[in-house]
Amino acid sequence: MQCGYPRFFIHPIIQELSKEIVSRFGNTQTDIAILFPSPNTARLCHSFLLSKIPSDESLKIRVLDFVPSQQPETDSPTVTSFLSCVMYPSEYASVAKQVWQHSGNGVSSRRGEFCLSALKDGLLVEKKSAAVDTSSPKFCKGPRRYRGRGSISGINKGGPHGATSTSNPIQPQEGRESAQFIEERFGRNLSTSLADQAKIAVRRRIAGVLTADVELSEALEETSREARVAGLSESDVYLYPTGMSSIFNAHQMLLNARGAMKSICFGFPYIDTLKILQKWGPGCLFYGHGSSEELDDLESRLANGERFLGLFTEFPGNPLLKAPDLKRIGELSEKYDFAVVVDETVGNFLNINVLPHADIVVSSLTKIFSGDSNVMGGSAVLNPHGQYYKLLNDTFTREYEDILWTEDAVFLERNSRDFVARIEKINNTTEDITAMLKDSPLIKNVYYPKYNPSRSLYEAFRTPNGGYGGLFSVTFHSTEEAIAFFDVLEVLKGPSLGTNFTLSCPYTLLAHYGELDWAASFGIEFDLVRISVGLEDVSDLRGRVQQALDAAAAVRKT
């Protein structure tokens, strides 16, 4: 196996860059370097490592920042790091890898490829070697997001949250130095001058004010007509390098804004969401069934004076596609003063609109929003009418760091231009396939929002033209039948979802291999098969599914 899901398997290019850094700045026999996009994200890993290792080992852990080697003449001494790393002894690899996996803040392969080439060519150096005055109070600790409106001419008009920048606005806050460095390095191969405009277009699509299949030049000339929520604009949308990064940083922002309090994880979550809440901050109260009885227990705790930072939930959940009672959760949050964070990745914001009952909505843009499986991204959206909007808006304005690599932003924008049409086709195909499976006596359960007992809770948030999504899970009456079905099903196999091609995986075995009994206690059977439907012709996909069902039937007969 040469590669795998990026947060679990570090990309070969990033591994090569890590080895190159160790060979120059560390001990190749004992050290490992784990790579992050900014000093802030690297220092978060550094702090986590220090909290988990013996105190007398702390001096062996160090952070290195890398900056352009040559700075153009300018009045400003500002310089931005393009890459940071944490160097540590190899025996602590499993600890450092937790930060990479759970936080989603690791460098992307495109950033890694760029930095590897720049480092080898002498264009990227360790910060202390750069000919800049890093002691200056103007030294930039990391790029901040430009929040004004944009125009395709290259002039960004300052809005209420942003300042004006001039042409080639790659990352305006990075300063002229970093923008020129990127342009000189690979500007001839990629239209990096469009990167900032690409981010604006992506944020507008997420806000709901831009959904047409248009080119970028047209996209930025579109006017706002109807957002997902009245008063919502792209300035309330924040981009991250992965979906997990958006969840991790939403939690960090809440801790920053409201102080250290326990969180609530409601419903069976994607594995890393629960780990984030457990490992960072004071801990987590976990309600793995997402039931009304668990909400009763929560209400009792709240009435007795327990206080919580926020409740994190998925709508619908993964892999059982169960919808939580978001209306009741919202009522409890207003009465007892806690925030609500909803992960809408599986439902996606064209099918459902959960923002009115949440303070922050997070999503993985890696999935159906992109579809092409060649770029990662995430988003966090603030509800402008939420009870914590002012507090969160102030916190994000102050603390948010734009670490989405410019080249990744361009690919994300290009991929997402037709996401409306793709979602509609996938919705229709998935309804057809799940109906076919539900009618089969070979199938024990079909987990899909349309058929789940929680359907009414899903319907309360389904948009007028929305569907039930492209993800579902099935279980069989025997493990042998499940194996036969999975093996014969002629679709690509892998642990993602929302791809433009149909993808299947033995989800529980992949996500919870070391905790199968624990997962089973929440109704997640170990031999469950999860399927993410793509853009194939429905008749073709029906034929493949029927072949797999025939294989399962043959096993039953024997």
Q: In b/e form, how buried is each residue of 104-115, taking b as 16+ CB within 10 angstroms? A: bbbbbbbbbbbb
**CB 514 within 8 Å of CB 525:** no
CATH 3.40.640.10 domain range(s) in the chain: 192-416
DSSP 276: H
Per-residue pLDDT of the chain (558 residues; tens, 9 = 90+): 677 888 888 999 999 999 999 999 999 999 999 999 999 999 999 999 999 999 888 889 999 999 988 755 444 444 467 899 999 999 999 999 999 999 999 999 999 999 999 999 998 999 875 444 434 333 333 444 433 333 222 222 233 233 323 223 233 334 445 555 555 555 544 555 678 889 999 999 998 844 444 455 454 544 444 567 888 889 999 999 999 999 999 999 999 999 999 999 999 988 899 999 999 999 999 999 999 999 999 999 999 999 999 999 999 999 999 999 999 999 999 999 999 999 999 999 899 999 999 999 999 999 999 999 999 999 999 999 999 999 999 999 999 999 999 999 999 999 999 999 999 999 999 999 999 999 999 999 999 999 999 999 999 999 998 999 999 999 999 999 999 999 999 999 988 999 999 999 999 999 899 999 999 999 999 999 999 999 999 999 999 999 999 999 999 876
Residue-level pLDDT at 196: 85
Asked if the 420-557 domain carries CATH number 3.90.1150.10, the reply is yes
- What does residue 319 show for φ and ψ, rounded to 5 degrees? -110, 5
Architecture of domain 192-416: 3-Layer(aba) Sandwich (3.40)
Phi and psi at 34, nearest 5°, equal -110, 135
CA dist., res. 336 & res. 352, Å (int) = 26
Considering the chain, tell me which residue range(s) the CATH 3.90.1150.10 domain(s) occupy: 420-557
CA atoms of 232 and 69, how far apart (whole Å):
41
Residues 228, 353: contact at Cβ < 8 Å? Answer: yes
Q: What letter represents residue 200's amino acid?
A: I
Q: How many CA atoms lie within 13 A of 152 on its CB side?
A: 9
Residue 180 is predicted with a pLDDT of 58
